[in-house]
Chains A and B, each alone.
Chain A
Amino acid sequence: MKVIKSVLKEELVNSLRMKCDYQRELAKLPRGSLIKKKIRGREYCYLVMRENGKVKFVYKGRLDADEVKKYKQVREYRAKYRKLVSELNEQIKFLQGILRGKKSIQSLH
């Protein structure tokens, strides 16, 4: 029992640390999603993001395929990392629940 409890505690510490690491990685990713607008038959790229509750478009002009690919990749990573953070949140909740017993959640931090 002692061994299992220690493994679970280690896993909880790992999950908490990993959550911070993923949030750090998310903060590093450039903000916004790339969209294309067709104006007078030509395509122009914009970065669309939310700022203070408002949707903001940042003009990027005509980008080459490599740059478009880079923005697409960033978007994919952001979605992936967010999904993994929510997985970690579930793990943390589960592990804290098991380890808590009669103790409060705060005492585990």
Chain B
Amino acid sequence: MEKSQYNLCIKVLRRLDKSGILGQIVLAGSWCTLFYEKYFKSVRYVSMVKTRDIDFFIPEPRMIKQSVDVAELLKDMGFIIGFTGSQGYIRLEHPELIVEFLVPEKGRGTDKPYKLPQLGLNAQALRFMELLSQNTITVEVQKMRIVLPHPVNFGLHKLLVQQRRPNKAKSAKDLQDAERVLRAVVEKGETALIKKTFGSMPKKWQSRIKESIKSIQENGFLEFLQGHD
């Protein structure tokens, strides 16, 4: 990864930290795998291929009380507002980084963006995201405390969502990401946590995850979950 991209990411995190919202959001997506290197210090772990998209998950959007115009906050760094999708999801764009916000999808779900007036943005509501905030870890990066989903939750979430991806290459990337992170978890000796998190999931989710594991080519990967209910 280019150093300038990492530095820009740190600058964005610092601005969010100073504005007081970093503690209320979870860094999700492929960028959090970079910061897992701090968690997996003692085991073999190399972070994955990342896109420019840096996703911030807001578990409780209504709990954000402070009013922060995020677009204005990052404007002088060259970020501009861009819109994606037919519904107009807002993302903050820079040639090196694209900042997006996500919220959990509730009920039947909707395609419409979730309004975040306190941040001057909108967010995309996605299914299964609550799994990422059920168990989180905090890593310290350049004197900032960044909240990340626990690697177990991250890996199981990837296994859960990969089947819903219409894009096969993205689905394959999800599998690779999940495998790499969960393998490091096993090596770190936290197999019990994988079992516990898996056991606490609804049966439907469990069978989806089992299906995903079957498509991982290497035999024996997470086989202990196959007989687990």
Q: Which residues of A contact B (CB under 8 A)?
A: 2-7, 10-11, 14-15, 17-18, 21-22, 25, 80-81, 84, 87-88, 91
Contact = CB atoms under 8 A, between A and B. Distances in A.
Nearest to A89: B95
* Interface size bracket, B side: 20 to 34
B93 interface: yes
Secondary structure of the A contact surface, majority rule: helix
Contacts, number: 47
Given A7-B51, A88-B95, A91-B95, A18 B82 contact: yes
Nearest to A91: B95
Interface of B: 49, 51-53, 78, 80-82, 84, 93-95, 98, 167-170, 172-173, 176
Nearest to B174: A3
Contacts of A84: 78, 94-95
A6 B170 contact: yes
A88 B167 CA distance: 25
A21 B169 contact: no
Nearest to B84: A17
Given A3-B169, A22-B80, A87 B95 contact: yes
Contacts of A87: 95
A3 B80 CA distance: 28
Residue of A4, A14, A15, A80 with most chain B CB atoms under a 10 A cut-off: A14
